[in-house]
Structures are given as C-alpha cells and as structure tokens.
C-alpha cells in the first residue's frame, strides 16, 4: 500500500525485470529484492560507488528514482518511465 502511494506522488517510475524469475516490478526507489522469488539485487552502478562496510551502509547505496539517470541502469533489465 505504501509503495502504491509513493508511485502516485512521483512522476518517474523504475520498472525492473528480475533476471531469475522474470517478474516485473515498479518502484520509485531502487528495488532491493524481487517480490516474487526474493532474489537480492545490487544497487545500480554498484562498482562505481563506495563499497559498504555494513548492512545499513549497503541499504543507503539504493537511491530514489529522482537521483537515477538512464546511464545508471543495465539495459534490458531496468528502465525509467
């Protein structure tokens, strides 16, 4: 429910396809885990960011859709709409 409210507020949406099960997801923040098969994902552009030392720092690497650019995405898996 919370995610649906956030989707309505934002003008941009991230659409991501899980590379394991093929599930399509929409969000206004980078998706951390597939809601169907629970496969964990790395944040976009992970290797150019500072590697996190703990769980909290790792979660902060996932950014909101307003901070992302098309060149941050892997073509064929994610798209900003």
Which pLDDT score is estimated for 38? 96
CA angle 61, 31, 4 (to 5 degrees): 125
30 in Cβ contact with 58 (< 8 Å): no
The span from the CA of 80 to the CA of 74, in Å, is: 11
For residue range 54-81, what is the model confidence (pLDDT) as tens digits? 777 777 778 787 777 777 676 666 776 6
The beta strand positions in 1-81, using DSSP E, are 14-17, 24-27, 78-80
Write the CB contacts of 35 (distance below 8 Å, at least 6 apart in sequence). Answer: 23, 25
> Which residues is 11 bridged to in the sheet?
none
Q: How much is the pTM?
A: 0.63
């Amino acid at each position: 429910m919370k995610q649906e409210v956030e989707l309505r507020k934002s003008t941009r949406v991230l659409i991501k396809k899980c590379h394991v099960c093929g599930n399509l997801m929409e969000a206004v923040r980078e998706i951390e885990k597939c809601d169907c098969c629970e496969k964990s994902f790395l944040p976009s552009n992970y290797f150019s960011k500072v590697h996190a030392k703990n769980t909290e720092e790792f979660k902060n690497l996932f950014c909101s859709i307003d901070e992302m650019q098309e060149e941050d995405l892997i073509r064929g898996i994610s798209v900003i709409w």
